[in-house]
Amino acid sequence: MSSNYRVAVIGCGRPRTEDGATGFGMSHAHVHGYLATGRCELAAVADISRENAEDFVGRYGGTADVYLDYHEMLAVVKPDIVSVCTWPHLHEPMALAAIGAGVRAVHCEKPMAPTWGAARRMHQAAVAAGVQLTFNHQRRFLEPFQTARRLIRQGAIGTVQRIEGSCGDMIDWGTHWLDMFFFYNGETPAEWVLGQIDHRQEKRIFGVPVESQGLCQIKFANGVLGLLFTGHDADIGCANRIIGSEGTLELHNSRPHLRLQNIHTQGWVSYTTQEGLHGGIAIDRGIAELVRSLDQGVEPELSSHKAVRCTEVIFATYESSRRRGRVDIPLEAEDSAFLTLLGKGAWAGSDNS
């Protein structure tokens, strides 16, 4: 087993339940996960707010160094692992700086970045440098999703034919559900995407504009179709639905979180799970697994190799809306077609009622 890892955190915002919070304060969850491994120590933090950084160290780090400039922190401290817990537009420069500084691993919040080019550059830089890059698609570690995948692998619904999801937006929440589409479908690559988005109402999440309504259809290489509905009128009666040749699985935000019907059941059969579709324990498990992966030199479950695939689908959906046609994978456009269209006033004069 390797020696302990020295961890640095960029972005020390307050937890969302406290005064002064500007987001979820995911850095707190990250550090909880690192410390829970018993293998990591908090060596340094960087934040533009000294008050937030010092408060953070007081809670978790004890003797960790405080920096206002993350470049200086990387140069002086030379950490083994860096967690990037800032808003999406900062992920690329911070991750690239950490990779360039020679760290062994970077764990970054989702979504990857506001544009496809930025997301791809982060992934490619990590691969070229041999740095372990992961993104916090932590739901892979929660019991309902694990149980659903186990049932799929056991053939409980026959051959998977279609995967559906419903959520508030494509890039922030949708990145989780699209990641789960790949998770259920054995990480099979996507072949093409057909999508449409609408922007009748202004909405930003962590500084990134999001659509008010969207639809994404995906064709996977094994023939499975995916459908994600977002925003206005997106409710499909569950959070995720996996339809097979012999049955259907559904995952719900409320209990029971997982239910199944197939050719052998008479109606729906509920599966009791101790965990729901959300929970901080998943972040602890994800960080513990990325630490083990770093020990063993193997690809972690939250690898950028996986994150980049669901992120490509998001930006391919935007590109499909721009082209008004199907987009084949790999996606060539480097921008976010949604942001480009928005900047050109594509939805100016829409009915905002």
Instruction: Give pLDDT tens digits for 238-264.
Output: 999 999 999 999 999 999 999 999 999
Per-residue confidence (pLDDT) for residue 352, from 0 to 100: 40
CATH of the domain at 169: 3.30.360.10
Same domain, residue pair 206 and 326? yes
Q: Which amino acid is at 38?
A: G
- On whether residue 154 sits in a domain, the answer given is yes
> Residue 107: helix, strand or coil by DSSP?
strand
Q: What is the extent of the structural domain holding 168?
A: 140-277+310-343
- On whether residue 352 sits in a domain, the answer given is no
Same domain, residue pair 253 and 286? no
Residue 353, pLDDT above cutoff 50: no
- Name residues whose C-beta falls within 8 Å of residue 146's C-beta, 6 or more positions apart in sequence: 140
Same domain, residue pair 259 and 158? yes
* Chain centroid to CA 228: 15
Per-residue confidence (pLDDT) for residue 41, from 0 to 100: 96
Query: Which tokens sit at 321?
Result: 């809306």
Calculate helix-pair angle for 91-100, 70-77, nearest 10 degrees.
20
Is the backbone peptide bond immediately before 93 cis, with ω within 30 degrees of 0?
Answer: no
- On whether residue 353 sits in a domain, the answer given is no
- On whether residue 252 sits in a domain, the answer given is yes
Which whole-number Å values give the CA distances from 21 to 8, 80, 294, 337, in the listed order? 21, 28, 32, 31
Count of CA atoms in the C-beta half-sphere (13 A) of 171: 29
Per-residue confidence (pLDDT) for residue 17, from 0 to 100: 76
Alpha helices (H) along 90-233: 91-100, 116-129, 143-153, 174-184
Number of domains making up the chain = 2
Residue 22, pLDDT above cutoff 80: no
CATH of the domain at 22: 3.40.50.720
Same domain, residue pair 155 and 125? no
Per-residue confidence (pLDDT) for residue 1, from 0 to 100: 45
Same domain, residue pair 158 and 181? yes
- On whether residue 349 sits in a domain, the answer given is no
- On whether residue 350 sits in a domain, the answer given is no
How far is it, in rounded angstroms, from Cα 218 to Cα 214? 13
Residue 50, pLDDT above cutoff 70: yes
- CB count within 10 Å of CB 38 equals 10
Q: Give the residue-averaged pLDDT of 42-62.
A: 94
| pLDDT tens string 292-332 | 999 999 999 999 999 999 999 999 999 999 999 999 999 99
Of 161, 183, 152, which Cα lies nearest the Cα of 227?
161
What DSSP character marks residue 172?
A: T
For 200-243, give the DSSP string: SS--EETTEE--SEEEEEEEETTS-EEEEEEETT---SSSEEEE
Strand boundaries in the chain, DSSP class E: 5-10, 40-46, 65-67, 81-84, 105-108, 132-135, 160-167, 190-198, 204-205, 208-209, 213-220, 225-231, 240-244, 247-251, 258-262, 269-271, 327-328
Structure pTM?
0.96
- On whether residue 152 sits in a domain, the answer given is yes
- On whether residue 189 sits in a domain, the answer given is yes
Same domain, residue pair 84 and 19? yes
Mean pLDDT estimate for the chain = 95
